[in-house]
Structure 1
């Protein structure tokens, strides 16, 4: 485009010059060796321009003839290079698709058409071909040569790193990744691998420094970098809590500034304040975190912030959490648990059932079972809630890559991924629609059996039979009859109340003119040996004489 513009400007300039000369005619006289040459200015200008063009053409012709061997050689070299690049491109595609035969063929052709020192991709193609064919030693040698060349150092280090990971040589892989980070901290794979190894070894300072370098180099997103830095600060604060509460507090506070919903950071900050006897600040941190992310661990830390508090004080703290976040299952469960500790069973049951209607889960049913055990002791009602807990969705926990942990961890123990743990139900397939869970909770509450009142167990007095024979002056003790052998009618029994749950069956009594009398044992012997069976036939008493 620029050349076309220059050509147009030159053409316009020449046309304007000739028109200017045409409007101003004149003669030019030249005397050379007694010869007088006269011509007009227009003819002289035209001759001058033609002479310039002729000289330029002659110079171009001479230059073309002079450089023709080099041009011919350059033409064939370019053609050969194009064929080599075509073979290299085909070989790379074949290596990527797993066609080892074609990749090896194209690798040999590319090496014959191109020079390896001028085109480093030939070494990469040969290394990839060796990997596909299973010649790992040869592939590692190629990667090592590439790592020695400054132009292909990063590519060679990545190949060596992948080979070390494949063989399980984690220490060698770590060294390759750290070497790559030293030369090029902007490489995502090297920075991520180095960050993972430093976190596994607990080198939180180095991990935070590397993350800051990545953030400055714009390797990762700023929001993601802030989240990861908050996780690293929380991990360091967890280790420093026992020995350095002040440092743990600073790290956890900085983590909360970067990620306000990071529950472990808020709990660590609150515990650090508690160790410094600053309960007001600890409560403020937990309350702010509770408004953003209601979490059962936050509630437990807040309610039990002061070890010397009574059960009523803990109930007041739980009710304050409920006021900060009303109509929330975690708030209701916290109040229910605190009310159970104070023996306020009515409030505990009310809050637990309200939480159950909002979010049916295992812990709510188990809490109701505890309330039944403390209030009524009815085993039937306790088993009812336990059965519902078995069918209820599981409680949320810290889950990462299929691993369920009781406490939060900064990285996954399976894959080493940073910030992998999430607070959720361990198995997503157990989750059901909210309507089904709500209906199940309503059905469980409605089907709760009534309280069963048991009667006291009858106590039988020992029977002493006295004989009229002179030889038997001493009393004889009659042993208690077994459940199979009824007691004779001569024995004196303690009166026993009829159980409230006796069968309703009625038997016709012929002596009373067809009136019916209750049958307390339903035609079977009594279970209690102290209860007299009116239908049993008396037997002679067995006496045991004591001499």
Structure 2
């Protein structure tokens, strides 16, 4: 463009000069070797311009002939270089696509057309072709050669780092990353790898210093740098919370300055304040995080921060959290849990059902099962809520690379990545299409809730009258000595609540005690024991001239029964003597 402008300027200058001479005619006389030569100024100017043009043309011809060998060599050299770069470009594309045959072919061609010392990308193409074909030792040698060249040092270290990670040589990978980070702190992969190594080894101060260098080199943007700094400070505080709570508190508070909604930092800061008996600042820190994002661990620490509080005091603190975020499921669950502990079952049920409607998940239904057990004790309703909890989505937890943890950790236990744990549902649950007019999961659970089973007065007293309706069969174990009258009175044990201790054991080596009868009844004849249980049904209600009194069975003692040892005699059943013989 500049040359074109210069050419146009020269043409305009010549045109202006000739027009100026045309407006001012004159004659030019020259005497040369006794001859007089006369011409006009226009002709003289034209001859001068033509002479200059002829000189320039002759000079160009001489220069072209003189430099023609070099021009020819340069032409063929440029053509060869262009072919080499074309082969190199094709080979790199083939290596990226995984075409090992074409990559190796283009590598050989580019090496023949280009010099490796002048074009380092040839080493990269050779290394990539070797990696595709599985020749890892050759590829590692190529990367080492690139690492020794100042121009390709970063590229060689990157290749060596990747190969070390592939082989599981973590120490070698760390050294390559540190060398790259020291030489070029703007390399994100080197800084990230070094940062993760410092985090895995617990060297938090070195990680913070490296993060400062990254921030100065403008490798990380401000939000990312602040987030990583908050994570590192929180990790440093979590290690010092048991040794030095004051230092841990200061680090956690500083972490909250970089990320105000970071829950782990808020928990550690609140724990530090609680250990100093500064509950006001602890509550302020937890309330600040709760306003940003409610978290169940924040609610648990806030409600139970003071050990001497009663259940009603904890309920008031939970309601305080609900007032900060009234329309959130965690607020409702916190109030429901505190109300259950305070035995305010009506409020607990109301809040738990509202939470289940808002977000039907496992913890909401489990809480409803606990409330049902405390309020009604109905096994059917309790089992209903437990079944809903099994079908409901799981609660959020700290998840990193598929690993679930109850507490937050700074690095992933699987990959070692920094800031990998996030509060989310461990896995997604696919749901079917929702038809129009169909109930939600919570509404369906509430609709299918069985009614409360009524408790009769007879069940409360533990007795059954003779005029009671026909009962279901009762399975009892046969006694070695079973009186006929006892068989008719066993059915009256239907509604009796027997204690656990003192009941006859299921050990067949210990026999049950003989049922006591009134002294007016003569002792019956011995009855042969039955090998299988006897099913006795309660008699159907019949009209009787006299109403019978309800019979209450008396639990028989465990100790003092005759064992099944054949060396010990049984009581004399023929004489009616029910005294038991001593063992020795």
In the superposition, the TM-score normalised over structure 2's length comes to: 0.78
Q: 1:402 to 1:505 in 2, by over 3 A?
A: farther
Structure 1 gap ranges (5+)? 460-479, 531-539
1:486 to 2:484 alignment: yes
Q: Aligned runs of 1:508-527 on 2, under 5 Å?
A: 509=543
Structure 1 contact 498–520 (Cα < 8 Å) conserved: no
Q: 1:403 to 1:542 in 2, by over 3 A?
A: farther
Structure 1 contact 507–518 (Cα < 8 Å) conserved: no
Residue 449 of structure 1 is matched in structure 2 by: 452
Q: Aligned runs of 1:458-537 on 2, under 5 Å?
A: 485-487=483-485, 499=495, 509=543
1:311 to 2:336 alignment: no
Structure 2 gap ranges (5+)? 465-477, 498-536, 556-572
Shift of 1:180: 0.9
Structure 1 contact 481–529 (Cα < 8 Å) conserved: no
Residue 232 of structure 2 is matched in structure 1 by: 232
Shift of 1:156: 0.7
Distance 1:505 1:437 in 2: 46
Q: Residue by residue, what CA displacement relative to the aligned partner does 1:391-443 show, whole Å, maximum 9, x if unpaired?
A: 33222211122111010112221122332222222221167879532223323
Q: Aligned runs of 1:186-265 on 2, under 5 Å?
A: 186-265=186-265
Q: 1:234 to 1:545 in 2, by over 3 A?
A: closer
Shift of 1:22: 0.9
Distance 2:388 2:483 in 1: 44
SS at match of 1:407: coil
Residue 8 of structure 1 is matched in structure 2 by: 8
1:38 to 2:38 alignment: yes
Count of aligned residue pairs for this structure pair: 504
SS at match of 1:198: helix
Residue 475 of structure 1 is matched in structure 2 by: none
Distance 2:346 2:484 in 1: 48
Residue 29 of structure 1 is matched in structure 2 by: 29
Residue 180 of structure 2 is matched in structure 1 by: 180
SS at match of 1:29: strand
Distance 1:97 1:288 in 2: 52
Distance 2:337 2:378 in 1: 19
Structure 2 contact 286–302 (Cα < 8 Å) conserved: yes
In the superposition, the TM-score normalised over structure 1's length comes to: 0.83
1:355 to 2:358 alignment: no
Q: Residue by residue, what CA displacement relative to the aligned partner does 1:199-243 show, whole Å, maximum 9, x if unpaired?
A: 211222222333333334343343233222222222222223233
Q: 1:153 to 1:483 in 2, by over 3 A?
A: farther
Distance 2:277 2:107 in 1: 72
Q: 1:206 to 1:451 in 2, by over 3 A?
A: farther
Q: 1:520 to 1:218 in 2, by over 3 A?
A: farther
Q: CA RMSD in A?
A: 3.5
Q: 1:102 to 1:209 in 2, by over 3 A?
A: same
Q: Residue by residue, what CA displacement relative to the aligned partner does 1:307-344 show, whole Å, maximum 9, x if unpaired?
A: 22222221211111122222332222222222222233
SS at match of 1:202: coil
SS at match of 1:152: helix
Structure 1 contact 360–441 (Cα < 8 Å) conserved: no
SS at match of 2:37: strand
Distance 1:138 1:266 in 2: 52
Q: 2:443 aligns with which of 433, 439, 449?
A: 439
Distance 1:485 1:394 in 2: 58
Shift of 1:111: 1.5
Shift of 1:507: 5.0
Q: 1:186 to 1:165 in 2, by over 3 A?
A: same
Residue 292 of structure 1 is matched in structure 2 by: 292
Distance 2:38 2:277 in 1: 116
1:543 to 2:548 alignment: no
SS at match of 2:327: coil
Larger deviation: 265-274 or 222-231?
222-231
Shift of 1:117: 0.8
Distance 1:11 1:483 in 2: 140
Q: 1:11 to 1:396 in 2, by over 3 A?
A: same
Larger deviation: 147-156 or 248-257?
248-257
Structure 2 contact 496–553 (Cα < 8 Å) conserved: no
Shift of 1:284: 1.1
Q: 1:173 to 1:345 in 2, by over 3 A?
A: same
SS at match of 2:5: helix
Residue 395 of structure 2 is matched in structure 1 by: 395
